[in-house]
Structure 1
Amino acid sequence: FPQARRCEVFFDYVQMLDSVDLDAVEILTPHALHFEQIMESLSRGLHVLVEKPMVCKVEHAKKVVEKSELSSKVVLVSYQRHYQPHFRYVKRAISSGELGNVQFVSALQCQDWLEGTKGTWRQDPAVSGGGQLNDSGSHLLDIILWTTGLRAVEVFAYVDNLGSRVDINSALAVKFDNGAEANVSVVGNSPTWWEDITFLGEKGAIFYRNGRLQRLEAGGEGFLEPTKLPQGSNPDRNFVRAILGIEPVESPPECGLRVAELTEAAWRSAESGAKMAVGT
């Protein structure tokens, strides 16, 4: 962007807020800094687009939700999968009842995160707020909760840091408010990227296989590949159009809160060796 060369550069975000007449901010800083920056921006009457995870603690997430409601400003978490056609299709199939009640979700995310982030702030818990589960894993937890519309109520987790100061591999067993279960595996020392999610309902199943979507009807003889997918968008477009009053916010701070609740409970479970209630 050649125009960016004319932009003033600041090394202190408060100085920037004091010096520039702004309508909105986008926060792409290390995770543990998000909370303070969100709250300060809202206090100044600014709209906020923030990268995932929204914040790293449940208590902070609740304060962001409350502050955003009181401020009447747009707060949008950049969970881009809310805007991708494949996942919009899954959400529509579940919310419309086509799939029946969700009974089980199985999810696997693999990434060479351990080596790829070695020596960076992402493996410094004071700045990152957590490891792979709180980073790329945040997308996985969010998309499960958002597509199904379910709330996690219990979790049992195993976590392995593999010598790092933050979590690298995580295995979660989750119970939802409708009685359904899920197993969620986040692997941070994989040789390659792979993501796999299965949604099993009373009337059928949907399989997301690393970008490929397939569907199986109850009693059906073979897999179907959906061809008519919903139109896609992106968080940036939704953010601008929400500020203008054209669209509702499609990845609101409540999504960040739900992810924080499940992530924090998983960490507590792994530390204690016991299952934990989520969101309490």
Structure 2
Amino acid sequence: MADSLLRIGIAGCGQAARIHVERLLKAADVQIVGCVDALRESADALAGTIAGKGGARPAVFDDFRSLLDLRPDAVAIFTPHLGHYRQAMDALQADIHVFIEKPLSTNTQEAADVVNLARGRKLKVGVGHQYRLRPSLVEARKRLAADAVGPLRLVTAALAEPWLARQQERGGESSWRFDPKLAGGGLLADAGDHLIDALLWTTGRTPLEVFAVQSRLPSGLDVVTAATIRLQDDVPATVALSGVSRGSLFELNFFGERGRIHATDSLLEIDQGDGSPARRVELPEPSESIDANFLAALRGLGPLCCSAEDALETVRLSEAVARSAATGQVVQLV
């Protein structure tokens, strides 16, 4: 497959799909052969966009199995969260590789099913945790592994977005993200999944237990989540997610015995704790997109940035946070 044409199918043709398709169309030897969406007009619109950019017009469907009948090399899934599991399993059972926009699934058992089926069939499943490719987080992970600030004693992670305001303004095609019956968990399952994955990936530590609380709308939708997590080696971590902020924030702070590492999605600072100003680290430009990474992995040119097996721990922790918030109890993960 290293030098051959890669035939890709697209499932879910909304905003996320359009962003990823733009990147896929820039890659050599890639053809998008089909688009499927429960709203056929959305699939038809994306197919028209692809044709307008010089590609062959993909086939259009409103049924996922019809897309699989085209026998693409891989399918990229951008449907609402609760649809990820069934579509991934159907594709894997048809011996087709899969890319899934995060989250991998909305519960641990389904995520484990995907991992086991992919492993058994020797197929690749990439998950859209593209924050793992952000130079700031890559560098933070390296420095933590090198013990740059001494033994890790505390991690704080925060994400804030004007999420509720966007819901009220837009609704429309993104409304499923805000409906707990459709999306499978509101802010925690959507943008919060990036923060939780970044926490686990940068520290390289397994979560052991969690206690969480949530502030919810009358519909049951979470708008604020706060959690305390005990990581491997008894490192405490706090996670705070807010969907009612006026601005956006994504940051992690790693407190060691000899200083602190402060990371955002685009910045890295080192504070040595000696009274001198924090030092900003020069970072390279991002060298790879999550889509280019998936294509390279299909061609055998490198590992997946985030495989389904990698993402399983993120699903497990997200589910535990939601369960703790719902029950008011500490949830053990081991």
Shorter-chain-normalised TM-score: which range?
over 0.9
Distance 1:261 1:105 in 2: 19
Distance 1:235 1:187 in 2: 26
- CA shift at 1:101, angstroms? 2.9
Range with bigger deviation, 2-11 or 25-34: 2-11
Residue 156 of structure 1 is aligned with which of 191, 211, 224? 211
Q: Is the 8 Å Cα contact of residues 134 and 265 (structure 2) preserved in structure 1?
A: no
Distance 2:149 2:85 in 1: 37
Change (3 A) 1:103 1:161: same
Please say if 1:12 is aligned against 2:63.
yes
Partner of 1:57: 107
Distance 1:7 1:151 in 2: 42
Distance 2:299 2:149 in 1: 35
Partner of 1:133: 188
Change (3 A) 1:100 1:44: farther
- CA shift at 1:146, angstroms? 0.3
Residue 197 of structure 1 is aligned with which of 223, 239, 252? 252
Change (3 A) 1:159 1:236: same
Change (3 A) 1:168 1:38: same
SS at match of 1:192: coil
Q: Is the 8 Å Cα contact of residues 214 and 223 (structure 1) preserved in structure 2?
A: yes
Change (3 A) 1:210 1:51: closer
Distance 1:240 1:90 in 2: 26
Distance 1:203 1:42 in 2: 47
Range with bigger deviation, 117-126 or 7-16: 117-126
Q: Is the 8 Å Cα contact of residues 30 and 121 (structure 1) preserved in structure 2?
A: yes
Distance 1:191 1:164 in 2: 22
Distance 2:127 2:258 in 1: 32
Distance 1:157 1:92 in 2: 29
Write the deviation string for residues 187-207 of structure 1: whole angstroms up to 9, x where unpaired: 011112122211112332111
Name the TM-score, length of structure 1 as normaliser: 0.93
Q: Is the 8 Å Cα contact of residues 161 and 246 (structure 2) preserved in structure 1?
A: yes
Higher relative contact order, chain-length normalized (CA < 8 Å, sep 6+): 1
Computed over aligned residues only, the root mean square deviation of the Cα atoms, in angstroms, reads 1.8
Change (3 A) 1:228 1:185: closer
Name the TM-score, length of structure 2 as normaliser: 0.79
Q: For 1:100-115, list aligned pairs within 5 A.
A: 100-115=150-165
In structure 2, the gaps of 5 or more residues are 1-49
Kindly provide the amino acid, as one letter, of the partner of residue 236 in structure 1.
D
In structure 1, the gaps of 5 or more residues are none
Kindly provide the amino acid, as one letter, of the partner of residue 54 in structure 1.
L
SS at match of 1:66: helix
Partner of 1:29: 79
Identity of paired residues, percent? Answer: 31
Q: For 1:171-190, list aligned pairs within 5 A.
A: 171-190=226-245
Change (3 A) 1:228 1:171: closer
Kindly provide the amino acid, as one letter, of the partner of residue 178 in structure 2.
Q
- CA shift at 1:34, angstroms? 0.0
Distance 1:237 1:27 in 2: 16
Please say if 1:207 is aligned against 2:262.
yes
